Amino acid sequence: MNDNIAAISTAAGVGGVAIIRISGPNPLAIAEKMFKPTGKTRVENFTPNFMYTGKIICDGFEDFGMCVYFKAPKSFTGEDVVEFHCHGGVQIARGVLSEAIRLGATAAEKGEFTKRAFVNGKLSLSSAEGMIDMINAESSALVRAGNMLYSEKLTSQVRELQSALKDTLAEIAANSDYPEEDLENLNEDNIADKIRLLSERLEALSSTYSCGRKIKDGVTVAICGKPNTGKSSLLNALLGYDKAIVSSEAGTTRDAVEGSVELNGVKFNLIDTAGIRECAGEVESIGIERAKKILASADVVLSVTDGSGAAELPETSAEVITVFNKCDLRKANASYGAVVSAKTGEGLENLKNLLADKALGELSLDKAYIIEQRHFDALARANQSLNNALENIGVFTWDILAIDLKEAWEALGEITGETANESIINTVFEKFCVGK
């Protein structure tokens, strides 16, 4: 990469400070022309990682700020990097960037700094994905999960699996090279056991996606029950603001109303379904159809009753929590998952805890787990290749088996980026913003 790229790295808008970053073969040459240090040290003699104060000279104005130089390879991108820290005004930041571009830098594309970091081996592809998850996170659980990826926890687990696969491949290769020698341990059962063990480890990792997906996308909670039981009120109470129309007239919530909220660190997508009723009018029956679809895709269903009639338990494969609402009016007449009052807020904390428990289950947030569909798909392909290998043992020659194992190895490499093709890499970095 023989060009210097430049971008505003801080968010667009007004703030205390804005940072403009330049990365490439010689960003210091650009800095020499647009930064006049306060002290005696000239820009070309800047000590890496030290901040220097001075004037940032732009076309039409100057600002007083700071400049720092990171020397390759000890920088974010692995290239030489210069950062200007100017006052955080939109026009100031744009002016500094324009000046850098006028002096020869190219405007960076989305995620180009991180892409260069990846290409220069500073981080893996999954680490870059974790970073963007952290930046875009709408819940603290996703910040944590993103950091798990960013700090290469998944990478090291994937590399362990790859290394076990390589060992098995080496064993097979040794046998193919010296077939006449009676190699100790190389028999079909022994290799099959090793592959089976690997497949089990892949499956265990894949199974974490059922929770990991919820951390990434949010837990979908459908609130259902008979009209007037207080579903809309409960939605509003959980969201913390008025979103659904609350009325004492049955059937007011004609269609699904939804909102997202972070409860106990986890993102929840709450959907208040229209009252599921028999003999409904046309508008309402459209709502009922939607309600059924929502139930089918929900992770958790809150089945709300106010004790005025029997609760209808919906047909769903989701976890159902029965909620007795309006406990300020009457006592719960049976045992329920949660007893609340959407009006007074009683019992809501318990309900939030229960929802967060259901969302994360037994998942330990500090170990490696899967939160990205892309990683889940790659694991599934790797596992498919292992299963093919198992089926091929004893049927085909060892070289055919080796092809299956290599395919599994390559599929795993897509997670870390080692074997990812240009299109996979571009898809990942397209999700980034300019300046990252």
Smaller CB distance to ligand GDP: residue 246 or 280? Answer: 246
Query: How many Cβ atoms sit within 10 Å of the Cβ of residue 196?
Result: 14
Smaller CB distance to ligand GDP: residue 342 or 378? Answer: 342
Q: Does the footprint of ligand GDP cover residue 233 (CB under 6 A)? A: yes
Cα separation, 407 vs 157, whole angstroms: 18
- Determine the interface stretch with ligand GDP among 98-106, 115-123, 242-250, 316-324 (rule: CB under 6 A): 242-250
How large is the C-alpha radius of gyration of the chain? 29
Smaller CB distance to ligand GDP: residue 124 or 233? Answer: 233
Smaller CB distance to ligand GDP: residue 147 or 325? Answer: 325
Q: Which helix (H) or strand (E) holds 398?
A: helix 398-416
Q: Does the footprint of ligand GDP cover residue 248 (CB under 6 A)? A: yes
- Determine the interface stretch with ligand GDP among 22-30, 136-144, 165-173, 240-248 (rule: CB under 6 A): 240-248
Q: Mask: binding to ligand GDP, 322-361, rule CB under 6 A, as x and -? A: ---xx-xx-----------xxx------------------
Cβ–Cβ < 8 Å for 243, 235: yes
Residue 399's alpha-carbon distances to 102, 175, 332, 389, in angstroms, are 58, 10, 67, 11
Binders of ligand GDP in range 287-326 (CB under 6 A): 325-326
Q: Does the footprint of ligand GDP cover residue 253 (CB under 6 A)? A: yes
Smaller CB distance to ligand GDP: residue 112 or 284? Answer: 284
Smaller CB distance to ligand GDP: residue 220 or 341? Answer: 341
What is the chain's length? 436
Q: What's the helix, strand, coil split of the chain in %, to 5?
A: 45, 20, 35
Nearest approach, Cβ of residue 245 and ligand GDP (Å): 7
Query: How many Cβ atoms sit within 10 Å of the Cβ of residue 414?
Result: 23
Nearest approach, Cβ of residue 237 and ligand GDP (Å): 8
Nearest approach, Cβ of residue 356 and ligand GDP (Å): 21
DSSP 8-state assignment for residue 26: -
Nearest approach, Cβ of residue 336 and ligand GDP (Å): 13
Binders of ligand GDP in range 210-229 (CB under 6 A): 227-229
Q: Looking at 247, 297, 308, 373, which residue binds ligand GDP (CB under 6 A)?
A: 247
Nearest approach, Cβ of residue 355 and ligand GDP (Å): 18
Cα separation, 222 vs 358, whole angstroms: 14
Smaller CB distance to ligand GDP: residue 238 or 386? Answer: 238
Cα separation, 81 vs 16, whole angstroms: 22
Cα separation, 198 vs 192, whole angstroms: 10
For the record, the structure tokens of 154 come out as 């998944």
Cβ–Cβ < 8 Å for 435, 10: yes
Smaller CB distance to ligand GDP: residue 122 or 326? Answer: 326
Nearest approach, Cβ of residue 254 and ligand GDP (Å): 10
Q: Looking at 115, 116, 231, 436, which residue binds ligand GDP (CB under 6 A)?
A: 231
How many residues bind to ligand GDP according to rule CB under 6 A?
Answer: 20
Binders of ligand GDP in range 264-283 (CB under 6 A): 275
Q: Does the footprint of ligand GDP cover residue 230 (CB under 6 A)? A: yes
Helix locations, 178-305, DSSP H:
188-207, 209-217, 231-239, 282-297
- N- to C-terminal Cα separation, the chain: 17
Cα separation, 404 vs 198, whole angstroms: 13
Q: Which residue is nearest to ligand GDP (CB)?
A: 230
How many helices, marked H, and strands, marked E, lie in the chain? Answer: 14, 13
Q: Which residues pair with 21 in a beta bridge?
A: 7, 83
Question: Which residues of this chain interact with ligand GDP, rule CB under 6 A?
Answer: 227-233, 246-248, 252-253, 275, 325-326, 328-329, 341-343
